[in-house]
Structure formats: C-alpha cells, structure tokens
Amino acid sequence: MEALVGLLVVLLVVGLLVVFVIQPGMGARRARERLAQETANVVITNCKELVGAVPGSKPPVLVTGQAVIAGNPLVRQLGTLRRIFGGEVGLFTSLSVWASHLAVLRMVQEAKRLGYNAVGNVRIETSDLGEAFGKGKTVLVEVVAYGTAYDVQEQPG
Amino acid sequence: MLVVNTETVPGFRIVRILGLVQGNTVRAKHVGKDILAGLKNIVGGEIKSYTELLTEARRQALERMMAQAEQLGANAVINVRFTTSSVAAGAAELYAYGTAVVVEPAGGYETPAA
C-alpha cells in the first residue's frame, strides 16, 4: 500500500516536471506556427517605411497586440539556480518567445481584421509585471507589439 | 483622428506640429479575477485576465492621448510609443505618447476628422 502511494507521488512529481518543462517550449512553438500561418500574405517590418509600397484605399492606422505570460514554479527555481553559475535559462527564453509571438500574432490579426495587408515600424516592448501583479513572487512577462498598418496595393519584393 | 507610430503618414503631408501629447493610466488588478490568475500562476501560461486588463488600459491611455491632441486642434498623432512600468506593488502604469500634428492629404485620401 505504501509502495503504491509512493509510486503515485513519484509519478505525479515526474508528470508535473514533464509538463513544466514541455509547456513553455510547446507554447512558444504553437505561437510561432500560428504566426507563420497568419503572416503568410502580410508584410511585417520594423523599418520606418515600407519600401516600394504604394498607398492603397485606406489611410494607415495604429495596431497593437499584447500578451501576459506567467512562468511556472520550475522556471522560477531554474532562474534562481542559474544565478549561481550564469548562462541561458532556456525555459525563460521560451516564455519570452511565447509572449512576444502571441503579441505580434494579435497585432497582425487586428491589422487583418481591419482590412490591412502590411504592418510597418513594428516595435516590441517587454516589461516585467512580477513586481506589479505578482507581488514579486511570480514570473510575469508582458509583451506589447505595435505598428502602423498599411493597405498597400503593390507589396515590396 | 489618424494615429500611427511612424514619423510620417504615407499619403498625407504634415502641415503643422502642435507638440507632444500623452495619456497614461495606472491600473490595479481585480481581486476576483486575481484568484483565477493566482491559480494560473501555479501552472504558468498565458493569463488572459491580465492581458485583457492591459489591453483595456492601453486603449484608455491612447484615448486620453487622442483627447489631448483633439484639444490642440490636431487631426493626427504620429510617432506614438507605448511604455509599461510597475509603479507600486499591485499596480502597473501604461503610458502612451506621440506628436500631435495637422495633416492634409497629399494623395487620394480625404482630410481626417479631428
């Protein structure tokens, strides 16, 4: 009986660890795939001007997208551990990638919803909301992506 | 009102610069929604209620910025920038700023309303 309980506890811990390790990478990958789909026929650039583009039927407009992603306890612990020897915290990187891809995705979706086919002068900003919303105990990454949506007749390239 | 984050507006000519306009808001999280967010904090992942809160807050900051531009008699705000910062425990500040200008169409567009 005790062995069974012990086994269940071990399985639960292993399961949680697997979920915690896989989750940020999975989220980042899913967001990247959806971003690739959504941006298939949209020009996105962080250049100030869209080279060669001819203004279309609609005047340019500001579009934004944002995402707030929380880190799981493993991410926090790894972050703390990493402080000893330094180096990249892979799970943390995945978390940031996940948030920024989601933010850009939402910005592009807004542009498409409004009937635009290009976004120029894209800016991506990350801020730490752990202090504001997480009482300093949780990892909270906020990313906002914004740019100017254009309706261009002839796309550059 | 035309709002863009570029320095110029394709299809329009800037005829007058009216100066810097800004809008900000400091938002605290909602206790009820925070219980769910607290649960999500345990497993990690996107926290929809915070995303929504910041989307709404950013929209309000933008609206305040646009209201200020309107008072100056502008019909466009160019070079808009956003910043987010933690000002106190439990609150985040969202700030939007840009340059209020008067534009007139240089292409086929109509003059934007203020």
Instruction: State pLDDT tens for residues A16-73.
Output: 888 888 888 888 899 989 988 988 888 888 888 777 677 778 889 999 999 998 887 7
Query: Residue B60 falls within a domain, yes or no?
Result: yes
Residues 6+ apart with CB under 8 A from A113: none
User: Would you kindly state where each structural domain of chain A is located, as residue ranges?
Assistant: 2-150
**What one-letter code names the amino acid at B114?**
A
Is the pLDDT at B9 greater than 70? The verdict is yes
Residue among A66, A70, A128 whose CB faces B44 most closely: A70
Q: Which two tokens stand for residue B54?
A: 């910041």
Q: What is the pLDDT of residue B53?
A: 87
Inter-chain residue contact A146 with B11, CB threshold 8 Å: no
Q: What is the pLDDT of residue B69?
A: 95
The distance of A36 to chain B (nearest Cα, Å) reads: 20
Query: Residue B112 falls within a domain, yes or no?
Result: no
Q: What is the pLDDT of residue A135?
A: 67
Report the percent of chain A where pLDDT is more than 70.
Answer: 94
Q: Please give the Cα distance from A118 to B101 (Å, whole number).
A: 24
Mean pLDDT of chain B: 86
Q: What is the DSSP letter of A48?
A: S
Whether A96 contacts A141, CB under 8 Å: yes
The distance of A151 to chain B (nearest Cα, Å) reads: 10
Q: What is the pLDDT of residue B112?
A: 77
Q: B3: which chain A residues are within 8 Å (Cβ-Cβ)? A: 61-62
Global ipTM: 0.74
Query: Residue B20 falls within a domain, yes or no?
Result: yes
Q: Give start and end residues of each alpha helix (H) in chain A.
A: 2-38, 73-85, 90-113, 130-133
Place of tokens 């020897």: A85
Place of tokens 């995705």: A105
CATH, residue B62? 3.30.110.70
Residue A88 CB neighbours (<10 A): 8
Is the pLDDT at B37 greater than 90? The verdict is no
The three-state secondary structure class of A127 is strand
**What one-letter code names the amino acid at B58?**
R
B32 part of contact set with chain A, CB < 8 Å? no
Q: What is the pLDDT of residue A42?
A: 87
Q: What is the pLDDT of residue B76?
A: 94
From 3.90.1640.10, 2.60.120.10, 3.10.350.10, 3.30.110.70, which CATH number describes the A2-150 domain?
3.30.110.70
Q: Please give the Cα distance from B65 to B94 (Å, whole number).
A: 12
- The mean per-residue pLDDT over the stretch A74-84 comes to 76
Res. B101 pLDDT band, cuts 50 70 90: very high
Q: What is the pLDDT of residue A44?
A: 87
The distance of A68 to chain B (nearest Cα, Å) reads: 5
Inter-chain residue contact A132 with B83, CB threshold 8 Å: no
Mean pLDDT of chain A: 85
Q: Number of structural domains, chain B?
A: 1
Residue among A43, A47, A50, A62 with most chain B CBs within 10 A, to mutate:
A62
Considering only alpha carbons, which residue of chain B is nearest residue A64? B55
Whether A155 contacts A40, CB under 8 Å: no
Q: What is the pLDDT of residue A154?
A: 67
B5 part of contact set with chain A, CB < 8 Å? yes
Residue among A67, A70, A150 whose CB faces B10 most closely: A150
Q: Please give the Cα distance from B13 to A83 (Å, whole number).
A: 52
- The mean per-residue pLDDT over the stretch B58-78 comes to 94
Query: Residue B40 falls within a domain, yes or no?
Result: yes
Res. A5 pLDDT band, cuts 50 70 90: very high
Residue-wise pLDDT tens digits, A98-147: 999 999 999 999 999 999 999 999 999 988 888 777 766 778 889 999 99
Q: What is the pLDDT of residue B78?
A: 93
B14 part of contact set with chain A, CB < 8 Å? no
B31 part of contact set with chain A, CB < 8 Å? no
Q: B37: which chain A residues are within 8 Å (Cβ-Cβ)? A: 70, 133
Residue among B40, B51, B78 with most chain A CBs within 10 A, to mutate:
B51
**DSSP for B22-76, written as a single string:** EEEEEEE--HHHHHHHHHHHHH-EE-HHHHHHHHHHHHHHHHHHHHHHHHTT-SE
- Residue range(s) defining the domain that contains residue B64: 2-105
Residue among B6, B41, B47 whose CB faces A121 most closely: B6
Q: What is the pLDDT of residue B46?
A: 87
Query: Residue B68 falls within a domain, yes or no?
Result: yes
